[in-house]
Amino acid sequence: MPAVRLMPTEESADLIELTRDIVDKELRPRVDKAERAHEFPREVFRTLGRAGLLSLPYPEEYGGGGQPYEVYLQVLEEIATAWAAVGVGTSVHALSCFGLFYRGTEEQKRRWLPDMLGGEQLGAYCLSESHAGSDPAAMRTRAVRDGGDYVITGAKAWTTHGGAADFYKVMARTSDDGGRGISCFLVPADSPGLSADVPEDKMGLMSSVTATMLFDQVRVPAERRLGEEGQGLPIALAGLDSGRLGIAAVATGVAQGALDVAVRYAKERESFGKPIIDHQGLAFVLADMAAGVESARATYLYAARLRDAGRPFSRQASIAKMTATDNAMKVTTDAVQVLGGAGYTKDFPVERYMRESKVMQIFEGTNQIQRLVISRDLARSDRS
């Protein structure tokens, strides 16, 4: 039961059909095995890259797809209906390229961005630290200037693709001036002294490797600093607004996937002589699930259209992330309830969708942080 989409162009409608074809042929047949085996699907990302789906929101002149965020996010959602870990990974890759595109010089962009967007490379994003949580200004990982290089020492927690990525966008402290003392670096995965700790043993997203990245005097040429010293935190926060929209789209895809399974099951399963979808009590649960999914989709699309129009969208990105992820948690929980005992088994994917939804409320800023962003914006805004 694919989502009904109103795409802005014929090209973007074709892109959705291409994505659905890849999802049905390449993702759905593999997801259960990979999730149970905790197997990172590197080849799936190469398939998406060769199809141009890893680089959609970046300009064609640098090797991107030249698509507006409105289109890119709907592609993410389609991927996540089948495989949330791949949807999250696609969003993280786009975020890991953002710093170079946003603050890199023209020379830096032309030198590195085409390879990063070409489909064969996969990126990761290093901001969080175990002690800092939602306060990135408290980070301790340090980059010390040494001639023409910086030497980075420290650890970055909760790194999606940690140990599997080809490059890392890294925030590190270059001075003790609080949030104004952080700089941004583009670090190759094969840099001496860079290693991944043992991957986290997570509740969900089993096929997505998450690890702490260890920086033991990692030497990075100064030409790989993005922007000026001290601009790292603004680069990170600017990218997070876009990243939050990515997670909102992924969460909506997970909710759509759970709704699809629940509706199919409710049409096939009978009780008291008729399909359970014909019982009003359960039908109303499904109706609420559908309303939640479509409301979440509308919310992230509104924020994306603001972004595409070059208008401020930070508050709307936080609203979309909070709304879509809270909705995904509710919809997937309801999907398990619709399936009853069967929903609690691994014979159906709804238990996986439920586990995957929980982390959506946590990463890219917890939903409590989203409420803080929204309320602060309301306090300083002239209009609500």
Is the same domain home to 371 and 278? yes
pLDDT band per the 50, 70, 90 thresholds, residue 154: very high
Establish if 280 belongs to a structural domain. yes
Establish if 1 belongs to a structural domain. no
pLDDT band per the 50, 70, 90 thresholds, residue 132: confident
Residue that is written with structure tokens 């970046």 in the block: 58
Q: In this structure, what CATH number is given to the domain that contains residue 202?
A: 2.40.110.10
Establish if 299 belongs to a structural domain. yes
Amino acid identity of residue 61, one-letter, is: E
**What pLDDT sits at residue 192?**
98
Q: Which residues contact 228 (CB under 8 A, 6 or more apart)?
A: 183
- Give the percent of the chain with pLDDT over 90: 88
Query: 277 pLDDT exceeds 70?
Result: yes
Establish if 342 belongs to a structural domain. yes
Establish if 355 belongs to a structural domain. yes
Is the same domain home to 132 and 160? yes
Question: Who wins on pLDDT, 132 or 98?
Answer: 98
Is the same domain home to 136 and 216? yes
Of 41-45, 144-148, 173-177, 272-276, the least confident: 272-276
**Domain boundaries, position 150:** 123-231
Q: In this structure, what CATH number is given to the domain that contains residue 321?
A: 1.20.140.10
Is the same domain home to 71 and 141? no
Establish if 75 belongs to a structural domain. yes
Which one of the listed residues 77, 129, 229, 364 is annotated catalytic?
A: 364
By the 10 Å C-beta count (0-12 exposed, 13-18 middle, 19+ buried), 263 is classed as middle
Establish if 4 belongs to a structural domain. no
**What pLDDT sits at residue 213?**
98
Domain count along the chain: 3
Is the same domain home to 226 and 243? no
The pTM for the full model equals: 0.94
Is the same domain home to 368 and 305? yes
- pLDDT (tens digit per residue) in 68-123: 999 999 999 999 999 999 999 999 999 999 999 999 999 999 999 999 999 889 99
| CA dist., res. 322 & res. 152, Å (int) | 34
Query: 64 pLDDT exceeds 90?
Result: yes
Nearest to 44 by CA among 63, 22, 77: 22
- pLDDT (tens digit per residue) in 219-267: 999 999 999 999 999 998 889 899 999 999 999 999 999 999 999 999 9
Establish if 3 belongs to a structural domain. no
**Residue at which a domain ends, from 117, 146, 164:** 117
Q: Which residues pair with 185 in a beta bridge?
A: 170, 225
Is the same domain home to 240 and 372? yes
Is the same domain home to 222 and 261? no
364 is catalytic: yes
Q: Provide mean pLDDT across the span 277-298.
A: 95
- pLDDT (tens digit per residue) in 326-358: 999 999 999 999 999 999 999 999 999 999 999
